[in-house]
Structure 1
Amino acid sequence: MSESTATPRTVLLRGGEVHSPADPFATAMVVERGQVAWVGSEGAADAFADGVDDVVDLDGALVTPAFTDAHVHTTSTGLALTGLDLSAAPSLAAALAALRDFAAARPADRVLLGHGWDAARWPEGRPPTRAELDEAAGRRPLYLSRIDVHSAVVTTALLDLVPGVTDLAGYADGPLTRDAHHAVRTAAYGAVTPAQRTEAQRAALRHAASLGIGSVHECGGPDISSEDDFTGLLRLAAEEPDLPRVVGYWAERDVDKARALGAVGAAGDLFVDGALGSHTACLHEPYADADHAGTAYLDAAAVAEHVAACTEAGLQAGFHAIGDAAVTAVVDGVRAAAEKVGPARVRAARHRVEHAEMLTPETVAGFAEFGLTASVQPAFDALWGGEDGMYARRLGAERARTLNPFAALLRAGVPLALGSDAPVTPLDPWGTVRAAAFHRTPGHRVSVRAAFTAHTRGGWRATGRDDAGVLVPGAPADYAVWRTDRLVVQAPDDRVARWSTDPRSGTPGLPDLTPGNALPVCLRTVVGGRTVFVRPQE
């Protein structure tokens, strides 16, 4: 039997493994009125059997808290799922062929939308030219974002829809960046109808639910989506009970606007800089493969003003900062705000920094001092790290090895919240945990348990909730059921992935995520006691 999607029911789950700090040996759980009511042993579960609406036989499955993806662009993710996704294209030629097929299959689209190209991974070593795109798209408007979404290639027909774009900063014959990119992106997404947008949002959220994700943090903003997109997504998630939760962040330096739109913070992708792949992350020293140090969109003074305003208004502030100079500007700005409104108030507000890839010991200490949450994406390292990866090409191997220092952040006491930045990298929570635990730079690795906590409880804490993301009595009944292989225990400070199956450890086990092992398969996802996904029987 299964829980109702309409009204939370009293449910007993039994016969499995329940990941709960309340009882590391739990095999059963009771959910009542949308909350966890009890966790315990199979024998004790008999006392509840007659007083519940449903009994779920877990058949040995694992129950964990549902994941929270702390950085998502929902509409773009849905459009990538339902549209042209070039993230797996092995070459420029293959990407152009996929574009031709896509254009032929979508004759009614006013603007063709695609995402995910990465010339750094193609044997041709270059993005498509505008002439190549014009031909492949049949002379139609086309917006094709790079995998990091900080630059895009477009057709001549799309440029014709944006008067004055050639005079904007970032305009080039090749990929567009900065103001030019924002202008063409606005025009492209403005052509998406409300029905298409809702379809894409629903597709993204249902896909998230199928992966055991119970909550997503939507990072919207005027340079990313639109106010209608943002409010429409929040309304969709509130009105349809079979979808994950959505927590909204609006990236604009307007506290009143963020509150009016329903955002919990004037935060998210409020850009201090750009991205490494597009050479727009702001660095202290120039790129290894370019003669400049990137782009700064906000300085420390602007950061300080925004943090102070948000703190006074009782909202979270937050920034997108990737390069070391950008992260330094954030820490310096937060410090200046703390001098104005008081460090205790700044810490209590739980401001956050998205990505935070290039950190120094000084900025790590600054995060810890002011209670900044690091909203990070371990899949970035899996995709771009390593001695021969994009990071090394952009920065040189020595600087590249310093990126994404998750272990140093945890040692300093910095709160971590894990996410995907979908569609930049796919929604993939167990893959994200694996990427953090098996970082390409061994010194930056964290335990599977620490990564899992950062991807469940950490996402809730990043929004100011300390009572969720864990299966204990009184917590929201947001959980997922998994088919997985053996469970193992890894010590929180174990950086070389030594595993134990000793039940005497008293620590709840987690799946063995050693590379090469299959990742767990989600069988069911429940949010607030309502089932939002059930895998069809195979």
Structure 2
Amino acid sequence: MTLRVLALAGGLALAGVGPALAADMILHGGPIYTGDAKVEALAVKGGKVAFAGSLAEARKAAPGAQDVDLKGATALPGLVDAHAHLMGIGFRELTLNLEGSASIVELQARLKAWNAAHPGTEPLSGRGWIETHWPEKRFPTRADLDAVVPDRPVVLTRADGHALVANSKMLALAGVTRDTATPTGGQILKDAAGEPTGMLVDNAKALVSAKVPPPTEAQMREAARLAVNLYAARGWTGMHNVSVAAKDVAILRDMAAAGTLPIRVDNFMDLKEAGEVLAKGPYADPTGLVRVDGVKLYMDGALGSRGAALLAPYSDADGAGLILTPPDVISGALDKARAVHAQIAIHAIGDRGNRMVLDAYEKAFNDNPAGLAAARWRIEHAQVLSPEDKPRFAKLGVIASMQPSHAIGDLFFAPARLGEARLKEAYAWRDLWDSGAHMAAGTDAPVEKGDPLIEFYAATYRHDLKGYAGADWGLDETLTRPQALAMLTKGSAYAVFRDKDLGDLAPGKAADISVFSADLMTVPFAEIPAAHAVMTIVGGRIVYDARGK
């Protein structure tokens, strides 16, 4: 079968993404890390690892297998993004991408250009701006958007997905005025005169997002295709897809059946879409590539938009954040999930939000504390933790699902939000690791880029991509390279009950392999983000191949 070459927005060419048959193969000619050892060669038979060790013995283990010379590239156990939003990644390529906007002026320029290139009267959507580096030192407003697109509804979502700005046309379409009641768990920011600025935070976003026409079936399928192929091309062999709709799962199942899904996708459903998994428990498609593991909920908001729920007020503003989901709704979901052995993953960023989740989990299993560890329930982000709550992850068996790249971006504004004392308790990877907690690493894409190399770099070096580390950067919380690799492999596998089949390259496990141009375990830190994926293998199928390119 001829492999397709897919050209994506942004000029990235993805070579060799598409359906392929599992093949017996012998990998050699570069460093091979199994997750527990470094070996000369790896033999793959029937989609599984047959042998890891010397080249001579590997050839005996798989006689007649395809010879794969790494030519100096490095093979690792398949890296799995433990927290991403698949459709958001795809739609980032299909809508106005505001990542990297350096100012309100640049945001306006991008908006104006996109509007000119996509004329019409329907609402215009975009995502990816973040104001923390801007010279204006403020959120954008509806007046900023009106200045360039006054005659068409516009809604632009912040990079973290927890806030948006709408222009006057969009606010009018949604009926948002100075008298609009603020939804529970949300904020409508207002100016000195009491008028909405256009900024809506967390649960208030729905006031305008409900007026944006939903994507068509064709657009959803294209977004899914773009996302999974992009992930294969970055070296990911799998993804934990969170806040998922039933339609998304149906599309992924169709792709798997057609042989066009290159990676494994574990899904945590949005609560309103979780009826099936809460009724019958986890389930999978016939190929095993698409699984529905449980439910994703939100306890609080994000730190950047001051929605993260803190135990004490923010250091740079009034208020202590937002609780997005009523406690009784969360407890009801926990009880249903426990009854059918479904997993729970709850977003919690602030120290108050994290404590509330830990308390809720403990209460849900108050009659059987050991059952909580067996359930492998998760906290997504776990960014700011009080000292007394850090040991509770290991004690209760709760998984900390964290995103290293948040620390090298958030720490430009986190000191102001948290103050010095609380900042020392944030992004505490080493503290949690040393406590014995189970940890998994992800990206939160499209909040972040979705690049495993950036996550590995951030976890082990904790400097920004220009090599800068501030005085309050928390460099004592860095992980060793083996620890970072474990979070992206063994940790991700454990977090979805796949540790018997995935997570390392021991004989008998699935041949999920990520191959990179640089040896992430030895090269200077600065060289890690500059590397690239050379090959991605999932279950013995080469789903991405850039050798010779």
Tell me which amino acid in the other structure corresponds to 1:453.
A
Tell me which amino acid in the other structure corresponds to 2:319.
H
State whether structure 2 residue 445 is matched by structure 1 residue 428.
no
In structure 1, the residue corresponding to 2:75 is in which secondary structure? strand
State whether structure 2 residue 346 is matched by structure 1 residue 335.
no
In structure 2, the residue corresponding to 1:366 is in which secondary structure? helix
Q: What is the alpha-carbon distance in structure 2 between the residues aligned to residue 85 and residue 274 of structure 1?
A: 22
Q: 1:6 aligns with which of 16, 20, 35?
A: 20
Q: What is the alpha-carbon distance in structure 2 between the residues aligned to residue 238 and residue 171 of structure 1?
A: 44
Q: Which residue number corresponds to residue 244 of structure 1? A: 263
C-alpha contact 2:77 2:505 (8 A) present in aligned 1: yes
Tell me which amino acid in the other structure corresponds to 2:413.
M
Alignment of 1:363-402 (within 5 A): 363-385=389-411, 389-402=412-425
Relative to structure 1, the CA distance from residue 192 to residue 298 in structure 2 (aligned partners, 3 Å threshold; closer, same or farther) is closer
Q: Which residue number corresponds to residue 177 of structure 1? A: 201
What's the CA shift for 1:465? Answer: 1.7
Q: Which residue number corresponds to residue 458 of structure 1? A: 491
Q: What is the alpha-carbon distance in structure 1 between the residues aligned to residue 257 and residue 243 of structure 2?
A: 17
Q: Which residue number corresponds to residue 522 of structure 1? A: 533
Identity of aligned residues (%): 32
Q: 1:442 aligns with which of 475, 486, 501?
A: 475
Q: Could you list the per-position Cα deviations for residues 133-184 of structure 1 after superposition, in whole angstroms to 9, with x for gaps in the alignment?
A: 1342352222211111100011233334435684342334231023320342
C-alpha contact 1:282 1:324 (8 A) present in aligned 2: yes
Q: Could you list the per-position Cα deviations for residues 292-345 of structure 1 after superposition, in whole angstroms to 9, with x for gaps in the alignment?
A: 1111134655544433331221101121111111111111111211214x1122
In structure 1, the residue corresponding to 2:151 is in which secondary structure? coil
In structure 1, the residue corresponding to 2:174 is in which secondary structure? coil
Q: Which residue number corresponds to residue 256 of structure 1? A: 275
Tell me which amino acid in the other structure corresponds to 1:463.
V
Q: Which residue number corresponds to residue 39 of structure 2? A: 26
In structure 2, the residue corresponding to 1:336 is in which secondary structure? helix
C-alpha contact 2:51 2:61 (8 A) present in aligned 1: no
In structure 2, the residue corresponding to 1:320 is in which secondary structure? strand
Q: Which residue number corresponds to residue 427 of structure 2? A: 404
Q: Which residue number corresponds to residue 267 of structure 1? A: 295
- Taking structure 2 as the reference length, what is the TM-score of the superposition? 0.85
In structure 1, the residue corresponding to 2:90 is in which secondary structure? helix
C-alpha contact 2:315 2:418 (8 A) present in aligned 1: yes
Q: Could you list the per-position Cα deviations for residues 266-296 of structure 1 after superposition, in whole angstroms to 9, with x for gaps in the alignment?
A: 433x111101111111111001121111111
Q: Which residue number corresponds to residue 192 of structure 2? A: none
More strand by share: 2
Q: Could you list the per-position Cα deviations for residues 342-378 of structure 1 after superposition, in whole angstroms to 9, with x for gaps in the alignment?
A: 1122211100010111112322222112211111011
Q: 2:144 aligns with which of 112, 128, 132?
A: 132
Q: Which runs of 5+ in 1 are unaligned?
A: 488-509
In structure 1, the residue corresponding to 2:457 is in which secondary structure? helix
Q: Which residue number corresponds to residue 534 of structure 1? A: 545
Q: Which residue number corresponds to residue 15 of structure 1? A: 29
What's the CA shift for 1:470? Answer: 0.7
Alignment of 1:76-95 (within 5 A): 76-95=88-107
Tell me which amino acid in the other structure corresponds to 1:124.
E
C-alpha contact 1:379 1:425 (8 A) present in aligned 2: yes
Relative to structure 1, the CA distance from residue 141 to residue 535 in structure 2 (aligned partners, 3 Å threshold; closer, same or farther) is farther
State whether structure 2 residue 235 is matched by structure 1 residue 207.
no
Query: Which stretch shifts more, 152-161 or 139-148?
Result: 152-161
C-alpha contact 2:25 2:62 (8 A) present in aligned 1: no
Q: Which residue number corresponds to residue 350 of structure 1? A: 376
In structure 2, the residue corresponding to 1:51 is in which secondary structure? coil
Query: Which stretch shifts more, 354-363 or 414-423?
Result: 354-363
Q: 1:479 aligns with which of 491, 494, 513?
A: 513
Q: Which residue number corresponds to residue 43 of structure 1? A: 56
What's the CA shift for 1:393? Answer: 1.4
Q: Which residue number corresponds to residue 497 of structure 1? A: none
Q: What is the alpha-carbon distance in structure 2 between the residues aligned to residue 314 and residue 521 of structure 1?
A: 39
Q: What is the alpha-carbon distance in structure 2 between the residues aligned to residue 233 and residue 184 of structure 1?
A: 28
C-alpha contact 1:259 1:265 (8 A) present in aligned 2: no
Alignment of 1:54-133 (within 5 A): 54-107=66-119, 110-133=122-145
What's the CA shift for 1:117? Answer: 1.1
Query: Which stretch shifts more, 319-328 or 437-446?
Result: 437-446
Q: Could you list the per-position Cα deviations for residues 69-113 of structure 1 after superposition, in whole angstroms to 9, with x for gaps in the alignment?
A: 011111111222333222211111011101111111122583322
Superposed structure 1 runs of 4+ greater than 6 Å apart: 1-4
C-alpha contact 2:350 2:384 (8 A) present in aligned 1: yes
Q: Tell me how large the CA RMSD over aligned residues is.
A: 2.5
Query: Which stretch shifts more, 411-420 or 303-312?
Result: 303-312
Tell me which amino acid in the other structure corresponds to 1:267.
V
Q: Which runs of 5+ in 2 are unaligned?
A: 4-15, 190-195, 284-290, 463-472
Q: Which residue number corresponds to residue 196 of structure 1? A: 219
C-alpha contact 1:273 1:295 (8 A) present in aligned 2: yes
In structure 2, the residue corresponding to 1:526 is in which secondary structure? strand
Tell me which amino acid in the other structure corresponds to 1:457.
K
In structure 1, the residue corresponding to 2:188 is in which secondary structure? coil
Tell me which amino acid in the other structure corresponds to 1:207.
L
Tell me which amino acid in the other structure corresponds to 2:517.
R
State whether structure 2 residue 333 is matched by structure 1 residue 306.
yes
Q: What is the alpha-carbon distance in structure 1 between the residues aligned to residue 536 and residue 210 of structure 2?
A: 34
Tell me which amino acid in the other structure corresponds to 1:315.
A
Alignment of 1:492-531 (within 5 A): 510-515=521-526, 519-531=530-542
State whether structure 2 residue 342 is matched by structure 1 residue 315.
yes
Q: 1:326 aligns with which of 337, 345, 353?
A: 353
What's the CA shift for 1:446? Answer: 1.4
C-alpha contact 1:68 1:455 (8 A) present in aligned 2: yes
